[in-house]
Structure 1
Amino acid sequence: MFNKVQAAAGQVDDTGREFLVFTLANQEYGIDILKVQEIRGYDAQTVTRIANVPSFIKGVTNLRGIIVPIVDMRIKFNLENVEYNQHTVVVILNLETRVVGVVVDGVSDVLMLKPSEISAAPQFGTAFSTEYLTGIGTVGERMLILADIERLMTSQEMALVEQAAVA
């Protein structure tokens, strides 16, 4: 039986989904815009380093009374080092179980991708495990790696972030 919920879901499928596009080492990535709380300039002086945590955890910051762990995605994805500059930003994510900040090289735009513009994730090597990929988005000549940021930030390895936030 076709009901209103299925009809609404069908409309979402027809119109597509919005993704925040960010860059890391000249590669564009997309994450579900609904997970993004805000985007802030990166200021290393506001991040408190915590001892004995993996290098991809830059530390924690106080965001309006909430202690937010900050993860450097370039280090997390084992990419080459980059100098932080005026384009470097922290994307504050509001995930199901926590608020996390991710440092990226820059944010370019928000794109609406239709289902026809999203291909299945490849099953070969990428900068990170394909279990965190939801697909590859293509818009004209642009290719975006679409990441399941919720799954990436709640992986077993990222449990260290939770520990860092309460330390």
Structure 2
Amino acid sequence: MSTEKFIVFQLNGQEYGASIQQIVSIERLLEIVPLPKVSDFIEGITKLRGDVIPVIDLKTRMSLPKSDETDQSRMLVSLVDGVSVGFLVDAASDVIDIDETIIEPAPTTIKGINANFLSGVAKLEDRLLLIIDLSYVLNYEELTEVKQVVEEEEN
């Protein structure tokens, strides 16, 4: 029996999970500098421990309604194709162990969510957890755009 650790986070009241192996750190929201002429889901850039990192609004990216930031809002920092990227979430509540046998393939259609982002659904005792693969949240063109944002800011 194999278990994996997942970070549980919320977007508009729905719980999601991401493999802890994809998360570098969980940060409180920092000042985000908006950028001109970038895709709408790129919230801007922020400085984290001396590095400039792009910030992605996960709700906008997943075509979910936007909501206001709160004291619970967090930024999940993940390495995507060698680039540190911050993903905005409403809250990051805990880390749980999930037995891989209870993770089922993601349904191909979940209202309003691109199925490419979902790697599965974990059926826990009291709730369903949608498992997101952060490495697939950005497609190749979007990842290239995010990398360019970082390069321009560093130069």
User: TM-score, normalising length from structure 2?
Assistant: 0.90
Partner of 1:97: 82
Correspondence 1:1-167 to 2 at 5 A: 14-43=1-30, 46-167=31-152
1:154 positional shift: 5.0
User: Is there any run of 5+ residues in structure 2 with no aligned partner, and where?
Assistant: none
User: Is there any run of 5+ residues in structure 1 with no aligned partner, and where?
Assistant: 1-13
2:32–2:45 Cα contact (<8 Å) kept: yes
Distance change >3 Å, CA 156–CA 126, structure 1 → 2 = farther
Tell me how far apart the structure 1 counterparts of residues 149 and 143 of structure 2 sit (CA, whole Å).
Answer: 10
The residue identity in structure 1 corresponding to 2:8 is: V
- Greater CA radius of gyration, 1 or 2? 1
Q: Over residues 95-116 of structure 1, what are the superposed CA-to-partner deviations in whole Å (9 max), with x where a residue is unaligned?
A: 3421000100001111111122
CA RMSD, 1 decimal: 1.5
Instruction: Give aligned pairs, total.
Output: 152
1:86 positional shift: 0.2
Q: Which runs of 4+ in 1 moved over 6 A?
A: none
**Identical aligned pairs, as a percentage?**
26
Q: Over residues 12-66 of structure 1, what are the superposed CA-to-partner deviations in whole Å (9 max), with x where a residue is unaligned?
A: xx231111110001111111101111111113xx212111011211111121222
Higher helix share: 1
